[in-house]
Structure 1
Amino acid sequence: MNFRTLPTTGELPRALYTSEQVRGFDRLAIGEFSIPGLELMERAGRAAFDLLRRRWPQAQRVAVLAGTGNNAGDGFV
């Protein structure tokens, strides 16, 4: 397998939650459970990294493309 390219299925992934639902989850975690926003970003970044390592264990490099806002923060960590 060529680790420089991602396999494609010809279909776009389907969202499990809407962006508004995810913002609500963030507010709940921060407000009700006192989990700092930075910790949420670190957890999201770690989970994404762990998934990539399981999917492509031999990969030496990973490129992260992120836009602006909190998703960019998740990608940065």
Structure 2
Amino acid sequence: MTDDNEESRYASRKWILAMLIVVAAILLLLGEFIKEVAFVDLVKWVAGLYFGFNVTQKGFEWLAGVLADMKKKGGAE
């Protein structure tokens, strides 16, 4: 993996939004505005959605690559 890939991973909007929500949840927990149970639930949802959207995005990128390869092979014949 290259350094450019690592930088772009942490500069993505999904990553930034997920981290902002987690930081906000930590601040709310420290300020005793939410309870530990709500904090854990919020972090679980944020992580689940983040990872789920990443898997979905990678799946669509793979599918687009496969379809592009099929189109190239079909046009070459």
TM-score over 0.5 (shorter chain): no
Larger Rg: 2
What TM-score, normalized to structure 1?
0.35
Higher helix share: 2
